Structure 1
Amino acid sequence: MQTKDVERAQQIYNEAHKLIPHKKFTFAKLHLMHAQFEIRQMNLQQARKLLGRSIGMSPKRKLFVGYIELETKLFEFQRVRTLFMKYVEWDPTNSQAWIKFAELERGLEDMDRARAIYELAAQQPVLEMPELLWKSYIDFEEQEAREAADFDRARQLYERLLEKTNHVKVWTAYADFEVGVPEEGEEVTDEARPVSDAAKARARKVFERAYKSFKDKELKEDRVALLLSWKQFEQAYGSAEDLEKVEKQMPRRVKRRRKLDDDSFEEYMDYLFPADDEQEAKVSKLLQMAHKWKQEQAMQQNGNGEV
């Protein structure tokens, strides 16, 4: 290539392909560089044959991505569709492939096809980094909702996602989403607008659901993170009374000791929540009342007032 000997370069590429046992292992870079070489020689069909054959013999992610980039630059979108279909069929766990496939259809303004791709991806039993796929899917539905003034699809996606994960970021994103939902009949614009009381109430309901979920499952770290986000929300949109209610739920950190398997002890930091303290106090009071009642019953049975 340095000496402009195209035929010799072609022979070297061909010899390299003969030496590598592609069905056992291969090098995506070799196939891509050879295809790019053929394109520079204006041999587009030969480049396509090379990449198609390499994917057929030993598919790799880099090969699919490189071939897709080539056809995209050529505006051959039907070929790109076909490649994406083969890509996700070969590797259905690849969230990025599904996302790029859906973004292609969105760019071609085929929203129904894009939504169908997202939905098919979301139904896969195993996904690498599923959070990326769900975020992209929700962002897509939120954007479509603003154009169609219909936010139910995005809301349903949040509910479906919460069935799969209880992550605090999902709950806070859900609350932020509800804040941004306009009221019925209100014009949807990108300009800043006052947040309605109904939107605030919907967001608070999400925070309350999340707090109860974390409390029931005794997820103290998540509970604290949620309260901090909730506090920021009330500082931005709530009244002094609303903010005070959240601040009263904030825990205090205490140092505790626990016994390890080797009979030694270690210190760790724990959180004590006011609501939990109140519950423990109520339980303690009930136990005291039960103990007192038991003593009275025993005294009545003895008849002489001795226990």
Structure 2
Amino acid sequence: MALGMCPKDKLYRGYIDLEIQLREFDRCRILYEKFLEFGPENCVTWMRFAELETLLGDTDRARAIYELAVNQPRLDMPELLWKAYIDFEVSLGETEKARELYERLLERTLHVKVWMSYAQFELASADESNVELARRVYERANLSLRGANEKEERVLLLEAWREFETQHGDESSLNNVIKKMPRRVKKRQRVQADDGTEEGWEEFFDYIFPEDEATKPNLKLLEMAKAWKKQQTNDEEKEGEDDDDDSNSSSES
């Protein structure tokens, strides 16, 4: 009656807990389905439903629930849901399925915590090449965050990568990461009010990455080449205009 008159999360959870205590698992399934119709964005509900099926030994049904969950158009805590799904596959020893989930997640977000978790996952795998697999994840992550210009996240990644190489790499691999570490510099920028008036200057810290600095000379040469090409085009157009003027003067005379 309560669910019919004023459905609330607390009511659903209380009802489900009651049916679990009574071992009425089929009724629990029905309640979870209705609960998810009521709030399909609720990640905790999806996770508890999948956990129930896992406890009952039906891993295929649990996997299907997780799959339905991650494909919802809107979720309130997707990071928790994806972590639960990955942990579920890891607990079953399904390393390849867990790896596929990480790759799918990276198609949706390039957050540094996802990359770091992926690297830790590879390192913890039983594969003999686990260190090399984890290193490849760090390399991909650095390139990805560099392309997205995510400086703060990139610093966190490089620090984690340096720690990884300290523990599992050699002198060469460690020096390779150390060379990528940025310099922290203090800069100033103008501050403007909402109405556009200037309010002075503020100081902030920025990061200068050696990899980015190394590409700047090439970019400068490219800009100079473009400027030279543009100047050549302008000169040719100007010469063409002068020729037209000379021909017009000759015809008039």
1:202 equivalent among 118, 122, 133: 133
1:90 aligns with 2:26: no
Report the CA distance between 1:283 and its aligned residue: 3.3
Structure 1's 291 and 157: CA in aligned 2 closer, same or farther, altered over 3 A?
closer
The corresponding residue for 2:156 is 225
The corresponding residue for 2:185 is 254
Q: Matches of 2:40 and 2:223 in 1, distance apart?
A: 56
1:212 equivalent among 118, 122, 143: 143
The corresponding residue for 2:248 is none
Structure 1's 265 and 108: CA in aligned 2 closer, same or farther, altered over 3 A?
same
Q: TM-score, normalised by structure 2?
A: 0.84
The corresponding residue for 1:73 is 21
Unaligned ranges ≥5, structure 2:
231-253
Deviation string 1:18-45 (CA, Å, 9 cap, x unpaired) is: xxxxxxxxxxxxxxxxxxxxxxxxxxxx
Structure 1's 55 and 283: CA in aligned 2 closer, same or farther, altered over 3 A?
same
Structure 1's 79 and 246: CA in aligned 2 closer, same or farther, altered over 3 A?
same
1:283 equivalent among 219, 223, 232: 219
Q: Matches of 2:148 and 2:218 in 1, distance apart?
A: 20
Question: Which residue type is aligned with residue 98 of structure 1?
Answer: W
Structure 1's 58 and 200: CA in aligned 2 closer, same or farther, altered over 3 A?
same
Report the CA distance between 1:260 and its aligned residue: 2.5
Q: Which has the larger radius of gyration?
A: 1
Q: Matches of 1:136 and 1:165 in 2, distance apart?
A: 17
Deviation string 1:234-254 (CA, Å, 9 cap, x unpaired) is: 111101111111011000110
The two structures, once aligned, show a CA RMSD in angstroms of: 2.1
Structure 1's 62 and 277: CA in aligned 2 closer, same or farther, altered over 3 A?
same
Question: Which residue type is aligned with residue 182 of structure 2?
Answer: P
The corresponding residue for 1:269 is 205
Structure 1's 164 and 292: CA in aligned 2 closer, same or farther, altered over 3 A?
closer
Which structure has the higher relative contact order (CA within 8 Å, separation 6+)?
Answer: 2
Structure 1's 88 and 288: CA in aligned 2 closer, same or farther, altered over 3 A?
closer
1:131 equivalent among 72, 75, 79: 79
Q: TM-score, normalised by structure 1?
A: 0.69
Unaligned ranges ≥5, structure 1:
1-52, 184-195, 295-307
Task: Please give the secondary structure, in 1, of the residue aligned with 2:206.
Answer: strand
Report 1:12-23 matches (<5 A).
Answer: none
- Taking only the aligned residue pairs, the percentage that are identical comes to 48
